[in-house]
Chain A
């Protein structure tokens, strides 16, 4: 079971680093705690919904910002939704960019919005990669017959 222990430690370290780097917050841990034998893929499912949401909303924002006369209310509506989802999953970096983004929407500042859009796209990609790594580590542990450690 040495291999399993090693994988489990790797998982814990990786998970902790995501929190330390400020990519995920306590809300993500709350979701992990909700996962049980009735819904063993709960976190992965929520994350998938979140990624879908992100892509859709980022596209909406990009399209809206491309227009001659930008409808900032429309952009803001999408940012607000993204802020909500990211908050629900614990994606704190994404959420923070959304907060700044909303200020630029309010100020009707197209340049500022475009910068935020770039930032939010970057943060989302980063998060997606990291979560996919985390989920892979989980799968490896389970495949080796181990259990996922609970991170407090």
Chain B
């Protein structure tokens, strides 16, 4: 059992505490294992409401589960009944206490507009399910080097907004019908702006699996 103080002080990627949010039992179990194997502390909850409760953001004092253990990363499924991952993301980014926590969205659907809205709301990454160990490993590296990327993230979000203006005329999202879990629209579609390398490469939306 790790004492709260130790988690706060360690600073290494070894003891990251991740809050995983997913309404699917199967997915929760898998993500929990992926994170534990990557030496993370994991708290897995089944809904956005429970996640907010855990963080103490639901307005109630002394909420269930919040024991002072700092959350270093939030990974949430996009499609959930009640509160979607997107809505959860917004609530977190709009809270003074928790907006600094990186939020990663996971989705089985590779929809461009969805990816864009999540990134624009401040999501760290958008992972296409099923999530693999290599995805988690990359996230762990990103979290450790998070500090210096704040500035770059601001630039990246701004860049995406500009890209949107350029894309408006051409995007008709045939991509959303792709059933394959390997993001098949990677390099085939001619949307050069989307694939141009952002300031911090690992922060771009995860369009490919198995880099």
Binding site for B on A (CB under 8 A): 27, 30-31, 33-34, 36, 38-39, 42, 45-46, 49-50, 52-53, 77, 80-81, 83-85, 87-90, 96, 99
Contacts and interface: CB of A to CB of B under 8 A. Distances in A.
Given A27-B130, A87-B130, A87-B181, A46 B34 contact: no
Interface stretch (B22-30, B119-127, B153-161): B22-30
Contacts of A27: 130, 181
20 contacts: A27-B181, A30-B130, A30-B133, A31-B30, A33-B133, A34-B30, A34-B34, A34-B133, A39-B33, A42-B33, A49-B29, A50-B26, A84-B24, A84-B79, A84-B129, A85-B26, A88-B26, A88-B27, A90-B130, A96-B179
Interface size class of B (residues with CB under 8 A): 20 to 34
Nearest to A30: B132
Contacts, number: 56
A87 B24 contact: no
B90 to A, nearest CB: 22
Interface in B15-58: 23-27, 29-30, 33-34, 36-37
B30 A46 contact: yes
B176 to A, nearest CB: 12
Contacts of B132: 30
A46 B26 CA distance: 6
Q: Which 9 A-B pairs have the closest CB atoms?
A: A85-B26, A49-B25, A88-B130, A99-B179, A84-B108, A27-B130, A49-B26, A88-B26, A34-B33
Interface in B58-83: 79, 81
